[in-house]
Amino acid sequence: MINPSTGPSSKAKVQHMMYGFGDDPNPLPETVTLVEEIVVEYVTDLAHKAQDIGSKRGKLSVEDFLFLIRKDLPKLNRCTELLSMQEELKQARKAFEVDEDKLATLE
């Protein structure tokens, strides 16, 4: 399959994910291949649509992806949750830096 994969083979990742969703620990290779193809097709299609939307606004942004999955509530909520977590982590890291600067200035 023309599937650029980095790190552990994409098939292994897909296999583990399938197991996480309730499949057999050792599914058929054909099944794994099919699921992988479905996933790749889905992501590719999503990216294409996001590009279509983003090009109208100028640049591709995260908002475009969120707009595309607006109908899928679980996914949408999970995405917003992850994005907010990312923001929080950013803030936390910033706080560390600020503390160091304050200490430096105080001293």
Partner 1 sequence: MDQQQPPPPTPNAPPPSSAVDPPPQPQPQPQIQQQTTPTPPSTSSTAIPNPNPNPILKPLPSAIPPPQQPPHPKPALPSHQPRPAAAFSRPWQQHSSQFTHFSSSSPSASSPPSPSFSSQPRGSIALGVPSSHSGPLPPSPSPSQSTPFTGSFGHSFGGTSSSNVSQARPMMRGIGIGSSVGSSSQMRPGGISAQHQQRPLQSSLRPTSSPTSQSASTQNFQGHGLMRVSAVGSSSSTPSTPQTPQSPNQPWLSSGAQGKPPLPPPWHRPQINAPSLQPRAHIPQQHHSLQTISQQQHVSSPQVPPQNISSIQQQEPFEQQFSQSRASQSLPHQQQDSRSQGSANQKPSSLAMVQPSTVQVTQNKAAITESDDSGGRILSKRSIHDIVNQIDPSEKLDPEVEDILVDIAEDFVDSITTFGCSLAKHRKSDTLEAKDILLHLERNWNMTLPGFSGDEIKTYKKPLTNEVHKERLAVIKKSILASEAANAKHIIGQTAVNTKGNVGKVAANILGSPNVKIREVS
Q: Contact residues for partner 1 (CB under 8 A)?
A: 1-3, 28-31, 33-34, 37-38, 41, 44-45, 47-48, 51-52, 55-56
Comparison of 45 and 99: residue with beta carbon closer to partner 1: 45
Q: Smallest gap, in angstroms, from Cβ of residue 29 to partner 1?
A: 7
For residue 33, the one-letter residue type is: T
C-beta of 29 vs 78, nearer to partner 1: 29
Task: Please answer whether residues 38 and 3 qualify as being in contact, where contact means their C-beta atoms are separated by less than 8 angstroms.
Answer: no
CB of 106 to partner 1, least distance (A): 26
The secondary element (H helix, E strand) that includes residue 92 is helix 73-106
Q: Name the token pair of 5.
A: 């994969």
Using the minimum distance from each CB to partner 1, give the nearer residue, 1 or 83: 1
**Complex with partner 1: residue 52 or 100, whichever CB lies closer:** 52
* Residue 18 token pair: 């399938």
CB of 85 to partner 1, least distance (A): 24
Residue with tokens 């992501």, as numbered in its chain:
43
Asked if 11 and 32 touch (Cβ cutoff 8 Å), the reply is yes
